Homo-oligomer: A and B are copies of this chain.
Amino acid sequence: MNKPDSTTDTVTAALIVIGEEILSGRTRDENISHIARYLTEIGIALQEVRVVRDVEAEIVAAVNALRPRYTYVFTTGGIGPTHDDVTTDAIASAFGVGVEIDPRAVEAMRRGYSGLELTPARLRMARIPYGADLVDNPVSRAPGFMLGNVIVMAGIPRIMQVMLDAVAPRLKKGRPMRSRSIRIEAPEGDVAPGLAAIQAAHADVQIGSYPFFEKSKLGTYVVLRSVDDAALDRVHGALSELIAKERFKASESEADGKS
């Protein structure tokens, strides 16, 4: 499941965002950026995201393609009570297991749904695949679940976020990715050759280059990423030498926490 990284045992993840409303443009997805930042902070490397329709076959295909490749697969969306919520059945189908109303889920919902009747429609949300563990939902009570290495969460951002908080303690974490941002007041094209040389000499640090345009001038953010602070220092040093040699104007970005 884990693709070993040559420098460290990396804990990896993929995310499947389930929702026609994102593909139609009706809803702008917030979950990808939240989950990406969250996982980076706890040392899990998100390496692929797929956005698919609320179609069982699509979800099954994505789940089965991704779960052998990554330590964890997260899904968002499609676990509500309506006919277009097909994720639970899709996950069960992907694993070849059955689905039934889970008494633990019913209990969680009974505690939370005071005043609202647990109708058959609502009880759809207590349908959980065999063998799954529940993921707590303190906001609206209908739980998410984890089956094998697949964590199935709500699509509504507020609810997804509490489910992610609830499941995070159970997950393996890798060494957190550390990053440094250096802002260079020169166009990418001018920075590129020197940067390529540094990257070639330092395979253990990811060097990303992000152009920007401000006050009619082209500039470049260089972002260094590694789990290893010493390696980061080495590359940071090499970059400082490049900047001095080329007489670039440059500054450290604030530790913006961004990776």
A83 at interface (Cβ–Cβ under 8 A)?
yes
**Residue of B82, B119, B259 touching A25 (CB-CB under 8 A):** B259
Whole-angstrom distance from the CB of A34 to the nearest CB of chain B?
8
Contact in complex: A209, B25 (CB < 8 Å):
no
Take A49-B50, A52-B48 as given contacts and tell me if A20 and B208 are in contact as well, using a CB distance cutoff of 8 Å. yes
Interface-central residue, A21, A35, A191, A206, by most chain B CB under 10 Å: A21
**Residue of B20, B209, B223, B258 touching A80 (CB-CB under 8 A):** B209
**Residue of B25, B48, B210 touching A51 (CB-CB under 8 A):** B48
Contact in complex: A199, B80 (CB < 8 Å):
no
A6 at interface (Cβ–Cβ under 8 A)?
no
Which residues of chain A in 173-217 are interfacial with respect to chain B, using CB atoms and an 8 Å cutoff?
A: 177, 179, 187-193, 195-196, 199-200, 206-211
Take A25-B259, A33-B28, A49-B51 as given contacts and tell me if A211 and B119 are in contact as well, using a CB distance cutoff of 8 Å. no
Contact in complex: B33, A196 (CB < 8 Å):
no
**Residue of B23, B40, B52 touching A24 (CB-CB under 8 A):** B40
Take A48-B51, A58-B48 as given contacts and tell me if A187 and B116 are in contact as well, using a CB distance cutoff of 8 Å. yes
A47 at interface (Cβ–Cβ under 8 A)?
yes
Contact bitstring A6-47, B, C-beta under 8 A = 1, else 0:
000000000001001111111111001111111110000111
Contact in complex: B193, A120 (CB < 8 Å):
yes
Give CA–CA (A209, B45) in the complex, Å: 32
**Residue of B81, B82, B192 touching A121 (CB-CB under 8 A):** B192
Contact in complex: A25, B37 (CB < 8 Å):
yes
Give the dominant DSSP class at A's interface.
Answer: mixed
Contact in complex: B84, A207 (CB < 8 Å):
yes
Interface-central residue, A25, A124, A207, by most chain B CB under 10 Å: A25
Give CA–CA (A159, B38) in the complex, Å: 29
Take A25-B259, A116-B187, A193-B121 as given contacts and tell me if A207 and B83 are in contact as well, using a CB distance cutoff of 8 Å. yes
Contact in complex: A81, B192 (CB < 8 Å):
yes
Contact bitstring A110-134, B, C-beta under 8 A = 1, else 0:
0000001001111011000000000
Which residues of A are at the interface with B, using a C-beta cutoff of 8 A?
17, 20-29, 32-40, 45-54, 58, 80-84, 116, 119-122, 124-125, 156, 177, 179, 187-193, 195-196, 199-200, 206-211, 223, 225, 258-259
